[in-house]
Chains A and B, each alone.
Chain A
């Protein structure tokens, strides 16, 4: 089983997990780390390190809210470890898909397929529906 860690500005990560569980069901091995006003990059790094220490050495997919920003700047360092992949632009479809497709998955293939889920999840509906 691949662990999932969601990191974000504010409570987004914790809430995203709750929302995903409404659809994918309660799940094990899903963690979060959140940056709050008043946090320094150092205090946020401690949160990430504490979370990662629980799953030390295990395969882990990290979903980061934004490409850029403190969660990104700090969390990217986790890539220096083996068995860690990071994806930015975390959204609900990505998290749900990661939660349901991570069993027996290859970590780097999962990271690639979840990135595609994110990219394909954005639709501008009006032009699509007008075609009909």
Chain B
């Protein structure tokens, strides 16, 4: 039995780092590092610079491809101040299947798009994305829709699509 690591936060937000949102999380929880798992961002050094520039002081921001992230996150032994951030439920599932397991998954925001239906506040899901989250839930992951602490939240099992 592989021990599930105690990540600071595993979060899906297609806006990635939104300074004000991160600032509110900071009032509730300490973070010193955000690892963005996204092939597109990882391949775009200018975008990484843009995200890093607007991050609060003392917070390290890095972006890695899915493959790189798996290797990197595997090596981390003390992850309580680390936030894993990605845009899509598919990435969350691929990480999980590759052995980067987690107990809880936070969904901060997924915008509307073709085939997606709004499920809670600023989050929308397609049928495929819903199914992927359902699979993770059946693995025992607690999935919560919450933009920032203090706001209204919703558990995955309460949503309908």
B54 partner residues in chain A, CB cutoff 8 A: 67-69, 72-73
A89 → chain B, closest Cβ, in Å? 12
B131 CB–A CB distance under 8 Å: no
* Contact string against A for B residues 95-122, beta-carbon threshold 8 Å, 1 for contact and 0 otherwise: 0000000000000001111000010001
Contact present for B14 and A41 (CB under 8 Å): yes
B19 partner residues in chain A, CB cutoff 8 A: 66-69, 72
Contact present for A68 and B14 (CB under 8 Å): no
A43 → chain B, closest Cβ, in Å? 7
B16 CB–A CB distance under 8 Å: yes
* Contact string against B for A residues 67-104, beta-carbon threshold 8 Å, 1 for contact and 0 otherwise: 11110110011001000000000000000000000000
B51 CB–A CB distance under 8 Å: yes
B29 CB–A CB distance under 8 Å: no
B124 partner residues in chain A, CB cutoff 8 A: 38
Most chain B CB atoms below 10 A, which of A37, A68, A70, A80:
A68
Contact present for B50 and A70 (CB under 8 Å): no
Partner of B51, one of A40, A42, A43, A73: A73
- Compute how far the CA of A69 lies from the CA of B13 in the bound complex, rounded to whole angstroms: 12
B28 CB–A CB distance under 8 Å: no
Closest chain A residue, CB of each to CB of B47? A77
Partner of B17, one of A39, A43, A68, A76: A68
B55 partner residues in chain A, CB cutoff 8 A: 68
How many residues from A make CB contacts under 8 Å with B?
Answer: 17
- Compute how far the CA of A37 lies from the CA of B72 in the bound complex, rounded to whole angstroms: 34
B18 CB–A CB distance under 8 Å: yes
List residues of A (22-40) whose CB comes within 8 Å of B's CBs. 37-40
Partner of A73, one of B15, B111, B113: B15
- Compute how far the CA of A80 lies from the CA of B45 in the bound complex, rounded to whole angstroms: 12
Contact present for A66 and B118 (CB under 8 Å): no
Partner of B122, one of A37, A42, A69, A73: A37
Partner of A76, one of B16, B20, B22, B50: B50
* Contact string against A for B residues 1-36, beta-carbon threshold 8 Å, 1 for contact and 0 otherwise: 000000000000011111110100000000000000
A66 partner residues in chain B, CB cutoff 8 A: 19-20
A39 partner residues in chain B, CB cutoff 8 A: 111-112
Partner of A80, one of B46, B111, B113: B46
B49 → chain A, closest Cβ, in Å? 9
Q: Give A residues with C-beta under 8 Å from B.
A: 37-43, 66-70, 72-73, 76-77, 80
Closest 10 pairs between A and B when the two form their complex, measured CB to CB: A68-B19, A40-B111, A68-B54, A38-B112, A76-B50, A70-B15, A69-B18, A67-B54, A40-B113, A39-B111
